[in-house]
Structure 1
Amino acid sequence: MINIAAFFSFATTYLEKYVGFWAAYLLPTCVLCIAFLHLIVWNKHLGTLTIIRKQTLALTFQVKRPPQGSVLLQAAQIISLAIRSRHRFKAANPSYQQMHYSQMPPWTAESLTEVQRSLKTCRVILCFAIYYLCYFQILSNIISQAGQMETHGIPTDTFSCLNPIFCVIFIPTFQKILYPFLNQRHIHFGPITRMSVGFLFVAFAMAYTAITQHIIYTHGPCYSHPLTCPAGKISNNQHRPNDINVWIQLPSHILLSIGEIFGLGSLGEHAYAEAPADIKVVLQSFCQLTGALGASLAIALSPLCEDPWLVVVYATYAGFAGVVGLVFWAVFRRCDIRETAREGDRQEYDEMRVWWEMGHNVAIDDQLTEVERT
């Protein structure tokens, strides 16, 4: 849905060019107002889940949780106590505190385990700072790169909108073709492996962007100083771009889209699956914080992003992403092994459950039939 909503970006770029900035900002404002009204009107229905069995019986479950206290304070207390105890989480265990200090902390052993699991997941999320550094080039330097080529009247901001189009194309393609193909051959393509592949695709995208920049530098009229040389000057405020078609940039957007699917999509899946129920939102927020860290790195390195050094900059980003992706897989691949074991346990449990139900004649469908009769 996020990628489908991003199609409005096409309209905003043309509104900005042919109408003005006020119209470009008015369109997303109206869309946000519609979404806000939808939340108000349908608020009471957003927290229910209805399951219909045999087209006669509908079971409705309330899945909206009531407001609860923040778990951040308790997690901070656990981490602080572990740090003071020489980074030993064992010291934060309630039984340990009761035995050695005769005091009972306000958390349980289960809460301690949840915090430990969350911190392990945060290590995975933190590695995406370099990923975001490369990915955010699509919103900055790659747009500037498009302005150095012949756009034939297309706004340069429009090319960043190609990313959601390719995501909408590739996501169902992977779900319907790639993933079933791998499952049929018993090839486990877990979240960590997918994220590592996402790093590599982003690295390939940065490498291709470096090649594109090199091609720009080999074409006139301004060569390695696009839009600045006297030979390309048209008027006092305008310069002619280098003689190369902007669509040569298309593979960069395709590679970044595939990297987003494998990288960011799998990151959200892994963070949601590994996080305890009370800390899921916190870890999702930490993902956004890592994105902010990547954006901060991009801002810090922006003084280096000038002609004629952009080829070196993109090649360096590609090297960083490739190395981090390989190290990431080497360090965290055991998480995929544990995920495979959990899936095997769930499958074995389902098989045993079906066998038990068939042997004792207490299948769920029979229970529902009995409820319907009453």
Structure 2
Amino acid sequence: MIILGFSTGGVKSNVSPLMAEQYTRTKPIVKEVRGEKKIIDPKITVQSMFNWFYWAINLGALSSVITTNIEKYHSFWLAYLIPMVVFTGSIAVLLVGRHRYTRKAPSGSLIIRVFHVTIRAIQMRWGLGKQNSCQHFLDYAKDNLSPIVNDDNQPVMESNNNQFIEDLKQALSACRVFAFYPFYWICYNQLVNNLISQAAQMNVGPLPNDVLQNIDPIVLLIFIPVFDILIYPALRRTDAANRPDLLSLTV
């Protein structure tokens, strides 16, 4: 379990940033597509990349349909051999192409910067009291942060500090959704334990009871393209997608 924990943590914390780093454009550009000029926004492009990245993950999750049938009708060793070959191949792809990937050096810890902003906001709030009425607690740290340097010993611009505070405020607002996560995971985890055990006691025909957990990736494979191609572009034309609060996250 310890090895699995380190392995999963190492993969999940590095693969997604590595994928995002491959898109290096930072400014919108105008491109003509089929005779029509369109604006290519880097942020929206990265969002779409992660949508299809998650789609590919769920495509791989459907491999359990094959392995569960192999385990039922053939043997366990072959069912374990298939994912081992796939993971070995993915590691080989990363190693072979490592010199072609865009790799950025770490630029410091966001956690330390968050603590720095929070402590400064407390200090300013305590010192100013009601003399400076701010809409948000973290606003007290705006224009009052001591100089911060990055890993290259270059000072962080004050405007970047203020933008970081705005981003932090949005992140804290969105974190309210985590209050419902315990209830979500209690229900979701039934797919990998209790419901599978219950299906084993039912008449499932030629299908193994483990197939039940594949309902989730099948639904995602269907709806991710629908949302990325149809629904999200439609929402961007409205004001709902531009609101930096929990509503936009919910949408």
Which interval holds the TM-score relative to the shorter structure? Answer: 0.5 to 0.7
1:72 aligned to which of 97, 100, 111: 111
| 1:146–1:156 contact (8 Å) kept in structure 2 | yes
Other structure's SS at 1:44 match: coil
* C-alpha distance in structure 1 between counterparts of 2:228 and 2:139, whole Å: 42
* C-alpha distance in structure 2 between counterparts of 1:93 and 1:183, whole Å: 35
| 1:94–1:105 contact (8 Å) kept in structure 2 | no
Deviation at residue 74 of structure 1 after TM alignment: 1.4
* C-alpha distance in structure 1 between counterparts of 2:142 and 2:213, whole Å: 50
CA deviations 1:110-166 (Å, max 9, x no partner) are: 333332222222223544443333222222222122123112242111221233233
| 2:61–2:217 contact (8 Å) kept in structure 1 | yes
* C-alpha distance in structure 2 between counterparts of 1:83 and 1:146, whole Å: 54
Counterparts in 2 of 1:15-34, with a 5 A limit? 15-34=70-89
Partner of 1:113: 166
Confirm or deny that 1:38 pairs with 2:93: yes
1:137 aligned to which of 180, 187, 190: 190
Deviation at residue 31 of structure 1 after TM alignment: 1.0
Distance 1:144 1:71, change over 3 A: same
Letter of the 2:208 partner, please give it.
P
* C-alpha distance in structure 1 between counterparts of 2:200 and 2:178, whole Å: 33
Root-mean-square deviation over aligned CA pairs: 3.9
CA deviations 1:247-292 (Å, max 9, x no partner) are: xxxxxxxxxxxxxxxxxxxxxxx9xxx6xxxxxxxxxxxxxxxxxx
* C-alpha distance in structure 2 between counterparts of 1:109 and 1:171, whole Å: 34
CA deviations 1:173-219 (Å, max 9, x no partner) are: 4556x639x949x9959569xxxxxxxxxxxxxxxxxxxxxxxxxxx
* C-alpha distance in structure 1 between counterparts of 2:167 and 2:227, whole Å: 32
Partner of 1:13: 68
* C-alpha distance in structure 1 between counterparts of 2:176 and 2:218, whole Å: 31
Confirm or deny that 1:149 pairs with 2:149: no
Partner of 2:141: 92
Structure 1 spans left out of the alignment, 5+ residues: 48-63, 98-103, 193-269, 275-330, 340-374
Confirm or deny that 1:179 pairs with 2:250: no
* C-alpha distance in structure 2 between counterparts of 1:152 and 1:78, whole Å: 59
Give the alignment's TM-score, normalised by structure 2. Answer: 0.54
Confirm or deny that 1:159 pairs with 2:205: no
- Identity level (%): 29
Structure 2 spans left out of the alignment, 5+ residues: 1-55, 127-135, 149-155
Confirm or deny that 1:169 pairs with 2:218: no
Letter of the 1:162 partner, please give it.
I
| 1:82–1:88 contact (8 Å) kept in structure 2 | yes
- The higher radius of gyration belongs to 1
Give the alignment's TM-score, normalised by structure 1. Answer: 0.38
Deviation at residue 81 of structure 1 after TM alignment: 4.6
Partner of 1:203: none
* C-alpha distance in structure 1 between counterparts of 2:64 and 2:241, whole Å: 30
Partner of 1:205: none
Other structure's SS at 2:203 match: coil
Distance 1:89 1:13, change over 3 A: same
| 2:174–2:246 contact (8 Å) kept in structure 1 | no
Distance 1:119 1:33, change over 3 A: same
Distance 1:174 1:109, change over 3 A: closer
Other structure's SS at 1:158 match: helix
* C-alpha distance in structure 1 between counterparts of 2:239 and 2:202, whole Å: 39
* C-alpha distance in structure 2 between counterparts of 1:151 and 1:168, whole Å: 24
* C-alpha distance in structure 2 between counterparts of 1:94 and 1:130, whole Å: 40
Other structure's SS at 1:161 match: helix
* C-alpha distance in structure 2 between counterparts of 1:136 and 1:191, whole Å: 30
Other structure's SS at 1:152 match: coil
Letter of the 1:130 partner, please give it.
F
Deviation at residue 27 of structure 1 after TM alignment: 2.0
Deviation at residue 5 of structure 1 after TM alignment: 0.8
